[in-house]
Chain A
Amino acid sequence: MSAGSAASEAPAVVQVERVNHHYGQGEARNQVLFGNSIEIGPGQLVIMTGPSGSGKTTLLSLIGGLRSVQEGSIRILDRNLTGLARQELVAVRRNLGFIFQAHNLFDSLSAYENIKMAMQLGDRPASAMREQGMAMLQRLGIGHRADYKPRSLSGGQRQRVAVARALVNRPKLVLADEPTASLDKESSNTVVNLLKELTVAEGCTVIMVTHDSRILDVADRIVNMVDGNIVSDVVLRDALFICEFLKTVELFNRLTPAEIANVAERMRRRRYAPGEFVIRQGEIGEEFFLVRSGTAAVTAEAPGEPERQIAVLGTGQVIGEMALFSGEPRNATVRAVEELETFYLSKKDFQEALQFSAGFKDQIRRSYFNRLEHPLHA
């Protein structure tokens, strides 16, 4: 099962809904987040990218309970952060792991003591601290440096201590800001692999702001922000799936891989219960669908004739593209037969995506006329 599908089945670890955020007051009031929504399930490693000032760190600090939610709502780990007082946010933060760009270790404390500062907030018995703290340091390859002060450690070792401090209480949600910025390749790999392992083995969710392209290949999901908006939110496995099948659809087969990826990025997931309508004959088409799993029945009725089933659709087949560029009403009805999971694309995104293709109008016309007698692609 992919990390992506887990997102919609298990309760979300992070649920952000229509969050706005402002800095400053009065005249100087400046909006930095505009109605952002995002849902992140357990076991995902999410990378947030975007230019500086795009609001990604603000969103991260809101999710981490480091700032108070101003507008909209945020739930993390089954707690609603909206309207929580500072003191209550402190309690919520104890369940999270934070990794900052700077290691922020106390120079006066040894590596182990720095970790112990975190363990003191957890619920493990004091007698277990030494062993478990040491185990964590060893896992990060710095067990032999446990009693060293940060000053006598290398930059990579220090950041690994900071990571150990964030992870030692086994948080279900880890928030990291450029955790590898100051690390060499090897330290960077150690840290990222550990975070990845946590997501896979423990269902821990990691949200990481980074510009480090070396990390991208471990991500389950990449969220891109620009000017306070989430402009793309790609579940990588889903994106691969979408590209794979769109390539085989005649309508899209002239698009370049980049253009297909662009379409995939804009597709969102939607589920239908058995018997539920996906589209109805006669409606104006607003969306285009790709079946991810399950089956759907296509039926059509002509005046004075009984409804007849035209086809049954399964994984990888597309629904509803014709009505989107013809502007005509749906010429068939599609209904879920068994639990149906689809990716859908809005009319606007659909049309924008297809304009990339040079000969797209001809192509569409041809397709349109070809399919009139074969309205599978209603």
Chain B
Amino acid sequence: MQLVERLATVRFQSAGASGKSWPVPLAWRNIVADKQRLLRSIAGIAFAVLLMMVELGFREGFIASMLVSIGQLDGDIMLVSATRYQFGREAPFSRRQLAQAHAVAGVASVRPLYAQRKASVWKNPQTLELVGVQIFGFDPDQPVFLIPEVTAKLDELRQPGTIMVDRRARSNFGDAGSGTQTELSRHAVRVIGTFRLGPDFFTDGNVIMSDRTFFTLFGNGSANAGDLPSPDVGVVKVLPGHRPSDVQRALRAALPTNVAVPTKAELMDQETRFALQVSPVGPIFNIGTLVGFAVGMLISYQILFSDLSDQLSQYATLKAMGYRNGYLIKVVLQQAVFYALLGYVPAWILCYFIFRVVGDLVLIPAGMSVGLSVISIALSLGMCIGSALIAVRRVIAADPAELF
């Protein structure tokens, strides 16, 4: 018989034949089969991924902006009021406690930092517009900042009414270089230099001054000689050879409970927690991310579901031929992963540029960090795989008996 001969030939040939043969990449083929549909799908998923990335990026920038000033403090442990709930807000504790802290073994220095953001109103030197700013005051004899520009101008800061301003302040802060004269909380001030910190979500820029100038501006009339006001932060430096955790424990024992003694890292953690949980801003980003995730799941479900529905009889045929549900699930999950990755790449690139433009505009330090890239790819995968697991039920339910 002709067929038998052919088969025999084929079998003999195959015995000696060699060469590689990969399994049919069904998931990939399904994805790229229709280019227009592929583009639409990628666009939809990229949109959702971008939503999440932007939310997450701003969330990250928001936290970073809150931590910028703490990061510039030259200390290991910070004394803060136990009732205080946000760095930079005025929440003084008794000055006497600074002295108590100083007496604790292992403490090299305790320096006061004064903060004000409520009563501080800056007049834009160009537009005369009033702008809320963050004020930090410190004793030039006991500097607390690691900012080199500030360290270089300690002497000039000693003159009353002199200030240094943030060059990364928002644009409504105005252009204030050295020599600029304007008003801060209705007092005449003169700018003697600038530094770079950047605004946060609550204020448009930072102003640094000596404690004396600070008392003059915000002293509430109590700034009499010898009657120094209460500090908002005590910046503690630990003597070399002492473990900060030991010193922290000793400080906690020595000080009354109205003073908290976090390390710099703990204070940053606390600040981050506050930003994300207590302040209204953090949850907004979380909700935004969640919305992006939900939208993404809907979009990717829609894409996968219609992919599957269009080929239901093909999948049922695979089942009739002897493919197991596991294989079909694998194919659908692979498709989901491909969609997630294909959507992620353009979203990442787009987000990168958005952050550059928006970051420059609002001066929030948002950018495509490694952490953000990793989290958003995990979310993209989770979103697509999650929707795939829902959509795959359709394939599992496909009954090969219906094909006859």
A residues with CB within 8 A of B:
57, 60-61, 64, 66-67, 87, 90-91, 93-94, 98, 100-102, 104-109, 113, 116-118, 120-121, 124-132, 135, 139, 149, 165, 170, 177, 194, 197-198, 200-202, 209
Residue B127, interface by CB 8 Å: no
Per-residue A-contact encoding for B113-128, CB less than 8 Å = 1, 0 else? 0000000000000000
Nearest CB of A to B214, in Å:
71
Count of B residues near A, CB < 8 Å?
A: 41
Main secondary structure of the interface of B (DSSP, over half): helix
Q: Report chain A residues within 8 Å CB of B30.
A: 106, 108
Cβ 8 A contact of A104, one of B1, B21, B29, B317: B317
A121/B33 in contact, CB under 8 A: no
Residue B357, interface by CB 8 Å: no
Residue B370, interface by CB 8 Å: no
Q: Report chain B residues within 8 Å CB of A120.
A: 23-24
B1-54 residues at the A interface, CB under 8 angstroms: 1-4, 6-7, 9-11, 13-15, 17-21, 23-24, 26, 29-30, 32-33
Q: Report chain B residues within 8 Å CB of A131.
A: 10, 13-14, 17
B26/A57 in contact, CB under 8 A: no
Residue B241, interface by CB 8 Å: no
- Which residue of chain B is the closest to A91 with respect to CB atoms? B322
Cβ 8 A contact of A116, one of B24, B314, B401: B24
B10/A94 in contact, CB under 8 A: no
Cβ 8 A contact of A106, one of B9, B19, B20, B26: B26
B311/A93 in contact, CB under 8 A: no
Residue B188, interface by CB 8 Å: no
A104/B313 in contact, CB under 8 A: yes
Q: Report chain B residues within 8 Å CB of A57.
A: 404
B26/A108 in contact, CB under 8 A: yes
A127/B319 in contact, CB under 8 A: no
Given A104-B317, A127-B17: A93 and B401 interface contact (C-beta under 8 Å): no
Given A108-B33, A197-B1, A201-B3: A127 and B26 interface contact (C-beta under 8 Å): no
B298-323 residues at the A interface, CB under 8 angstroms: 311, 313-314, 316-323
Nearest CB of B to A258, in Å:
32
**Which has the most chain B C-beta neighbours within 10 Å: A60, A98, A149?**
A98
A104/B4 in contact, CB under 8 A: no
**Which has the most chain A C-beta neighbours within 10 Å: B6, B15, B320?**
B320
**Which has the most chain A C-beta neighbours within 10 Å: B13, B317, B323, B324?**
B317
B320/A93 in contact, CB under 8 A: yes
What are 13 A-B pairs with beta-carbon distances under 8 A?
A57-B404, A66-B404, A98-B317, A105-B314, A106-B314, A109-B24, A109-B29, A113-B29, A118-B321, A128-B15, A177-B404, A201-B3, A201-B4
A66/B320 in contact, CB under 8 A: yes
Which 5 pairs across A and B sit closest by C-beta, in order of nearness?
A: A128-B14, A94-B322, A108-B33, A126-B21, A201-B1
B400/A117 in contact, CB under 8 A: no
- Which residue of chain A is the closest to B33 with respect to CB atoms? A108
